[in-house]
């Protein structure tokens, strides 16, 4: 039977790969990539460099296909995302059916970890449910941008006994999560950070974590929000894309 591995490769530093991930890389015959175009070609190049660095004495090949684009103007956000996943599943199913022989191992190298704000597991499950092609699959965990951010800022995410909520930029616009001491915000196009305010919040922000382009900013949100927005826009214009994550914490009364 065919086998597919979903391998978490970390937030951007080659050393983020776990020993389990390196071992998995060395079993793969075909690496599948959904190409996001020239602007994000360095993301694909990083994945290929991971293979060159860690695979020893094994023949493998790359199979690439153009990634479908999500309709950002869809009136129903959830429906738009589901349609996007359906398009991905059609392409992924075809790649596995046509490019992976029985008995071979294929792999998708997933930025961060496949479990956190990534569609790969859902897409693979959609392919299996469709009956287009039969295969077994495994998930290899990776270092997330959340872990990388906390390490670079030298912070613990939780307060003592306090809850953490991981959320999105789309949701943080509604305000700091009720009942949480810490909010980790991902997938923010910048509008979430602009919308939320308060003198009782501190921020630890990072972009391109683990890479040579890494940027870190921390401090009171009221002091740093405009600076982060400025730096973020400059970085996005320079590279053509940005991946960033930030932690918001309520400032304890003793710290004000």
CATH number (domain holding residue 158): 3.30.950.10
Whether 101 and 57 share a structural domain:
yes
Whether 179 and 213 share a structural domain:
yes
Measured distance CA(66)–CA(88) in Å, rounded: 10
What average pLDDT does this structure show over 24-51? 86
Beta bridge partners of 8: 110
pLDDT at 255: 46
pLDDT at 252: 65
pLDDT at 199 over 90: no
**Structural domain for 164, as ranges:** 145-255
Length of the chain: 256
Q: How many domains are there within the chain?
A: 2
What average pLDDT does this structure show over 25-52? 86
pLDDT at 41 over 90: no
Whether 63 and 133 share a structural domain:
yes
* H/E element, 87: helix 77-99
pLDDT at 197 over 90: no
Whether 136 and 187 share a structural domain:
no
Whether 45 and 103 share a structural domain:
yes
Q: Which of 185, 217, 183, 212 is nearest to 200 (CA)?
A: 183
Whether 134 and 150 share a structural domain:
no
Residue 246's CB is within 10 A of a number of other CB atoms, namely 27
pLDDT tens, 111-167? 999 999 999 999 999 999 999 899 999 999 999 999 999 999 999 998 888 899 999
Whether 107 and 167 share a structural domain:
no
Given 140, 169, 191, which residue is the final one in a domain?
Answer: 140
pLDDT at 198 over 80: no
């Amino acid at each position: 039977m065919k086998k597919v591995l979903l391998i978490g490769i970390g937030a951007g530093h080659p050393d983020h790969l776990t020993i389990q991930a390196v071992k998995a890389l060395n079993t793969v015959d075909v690496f599948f990539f959904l190409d996001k175009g020239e602007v994000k070609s360095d993301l694909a190049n990083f994945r290929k460099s991971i293979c060159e660095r860690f695979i020893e004495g094994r023949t493998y090949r790359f199979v690439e296909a153009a990634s479908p684009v999500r309709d950002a103007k869809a009136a129903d956000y959830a429906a738009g995302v589901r349609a996007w996943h359906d398009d991905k599943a059609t392409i992924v199913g075809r790649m596995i059916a046509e490019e992976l022989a029985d008995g071979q191992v294929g792999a998708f190298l997933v930025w961060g970890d496949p479990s956190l704000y990534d569609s790969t597991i859902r897409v693979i499950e959609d392919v299996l449910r469709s009956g287009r092609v039969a295969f077994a699959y495994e998930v290899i965990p990776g270092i997330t941008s959340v872990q990388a951010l906390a390490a670079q800022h030298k912070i613990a995410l939780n307060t003592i006994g306090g809850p953490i909520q991981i959320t999105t930029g789309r949701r943080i616009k509604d305000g700091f999560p009720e009942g949480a001491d810490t909010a980790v915000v991902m997938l923010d196009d910048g509008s979430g950070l602009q919308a939320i305010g308060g003198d009782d919040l501190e921020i630890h922000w990072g972009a391109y974590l683990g890479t040579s382009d890494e940027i870190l900013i921390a401090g009171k949100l009221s002091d740093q929000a405009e600076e982060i927005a400025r730096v973020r826009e400059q970085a996005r214009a320079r590279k053509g894309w940005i991946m960033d994550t930030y932690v918001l914490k309520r400032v304890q009364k003793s710290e004000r």
